[in-house]
Amino acid sequence: MTHALLIVSGPASPTLARRVADAMKTDVMQLEHKVFPDGETYIRFPESVAGKQVAVIQSCYPPQNKNLVDLLFILDGAREMGAKEIAAIVPYFAYARQDDAYRSGEAVSAKTNARLIEAAGASHFLTIDIPSNKALRFFKIHSENLTCMNLIATYLKTRSLESPYVLAPDDGAIPLAQTVSTTLRCEYAWFEKLRDKVTGAVSTSGKDVDLKGRDAIIVDDVISTGKTIANAAQIAKKQGAKRAIAACAHPLLTGDAEQTLRSAGVDETIGTDSIESRPQLVSIAPVLAEALRRIW
Ligand code: R5P
């Protein structure tokens, strides 16, 4: 290992870490990692990181509790070894949606996790298309929300799209839809989504948009159960869309999400390498590499 800047691959993000290291022409360190029979995890750095600027890449998708704890072990391990500076790069920041106590007595999980990441030694925190920007206010260290929507739009441009129209399935996704529609030079609109705070059930009301014969591109930060996108796709198809293409930064696709999307008429789902072992048509490595070059 020769460079002062070192990419450390968390066990949740080996593919992405390698891509970021390649983009930065720097070294990547794979850690020793194992899971004991009782579920506890073991992390070991094969070499010292003393004096280095260390960028730890560990996305915290499910199993998010394990991935978060592994991240904390890595950050603390790097600090104990004398790393000069540590950036926690967490493309999918689990628990970001619990950014406040919406019902009295709720634990504000995003706050707890921000405190833990700081306490473990991170001096920078980078994430991508965070479901709630509000969650970043809990960090006292430098924190940034990046976006991969330009990369998704650039990928979409390589596809033969029929008169595309970008849709945000809720108002939180409006900035994402704006970014994608600017690159695609097309219109965008957004739907209204209501989520029951107790049951999590989602209902969506559409806007009157003429989508006849057009490709509807539905963009969101996360696809979890798929219900948000499914509702939007059903409306889009009813309004005449020829195809419904879903695109997101974090394709969690939990449970039978893929079936939910298909049944709602989603023709294709585009995701990124924020989540290993999911459809990775777009890599977020260029965005992360650029941010790292900027901070270091
Ligand atoms: C929150 O509103 C997010 O932006 C996503 O829309 C949401 O997390 C998607 O979840 P699901 O796929 O379960 O509807």
pLDDT at 198: 81
Quick one: tokens of 83? Answer: 């790393």
pLDDT at 25 over 90: yes
pLDDT at 195: 84
Which CATH number does 5-147+283-295 carry? 3.40.50.2020
CB-ligand 1 contact for 222 (6 Å cutoff): yes
Would the CATH topology of 5-147+283-295 be identical to that of 149-270? yes
Domain boundaries, the chain: 5-147+283-295, 149-270
Contact between 211 and 164 under an 8 Å Cβ cutoff? The reply is no
Q: Per-residue pLDDT tens for 66-83?
A: 999 999 999 999 999 999
Say how far apart CA 1 and CA 187 lie, in whole Å. Answer: 48
CA of 251 to the centre of ligand 1 (A): 10
Decide if 84 is catalytic.
Answer: no
Residue nearest to atom 10 of ligand 1 (CA): 224
CB-ligand 1 contact for 131 (6 Å cutoff): yes
pLDDT at 270: 97
CB-ligand 1 contact for 221 (6 Å cutoff): yes
Percent of the chain topping pLDDT 90:
92
Q: Per-residue pLDDT tens for 200-237?
A: 888 999 888 899 999 999 999 999 999 999 999 999 99
pLDDT at 28 over 90: yes
Q: Per-residue pLDDT tens for 98-154?
A: 999 999 999 999 999 999 999 999 999 999 999 999 999 999 999 999 999 999 999
Q: Is residue 265 very low, low, confident or very high in pLDDT (cuts 50, 70, 90)?
A: very high
User: Exactly one of 25, 34, 52, 193 is catalytic; which is it?
Assistant: 193
Looking at the CA of residue 252, tell me the nearest atom of ligand 1.
12
CATH architecture of 149-270: 3-Layer(aba) Sandwich (3.40)
Q: Which of 100, 218, 220, 252 to mutate to test the pocket of ligand 1 (most atoms within 8 A of CB)?
A: 220
- The position carrying tokens 């920078």 is 124
Q: Per-residue pLDDT tens for 84-101?
A: 999 999 999 999 999 999
Looking at the CA of residue 227, tell me the nearest atom of ligand 1.
14
pLDDT at 2: 60
pLDDT at 177: 98
pLDDT at 179: 98
pLDDT at 278: 74
Q: Which residues make Cβ contacts (< 8 Å) with residue 135, sequence separation at least 6?
A: 93, 95, 96, 97, 99, 110, 114
Q: Residue type for 259, please?
A: Q
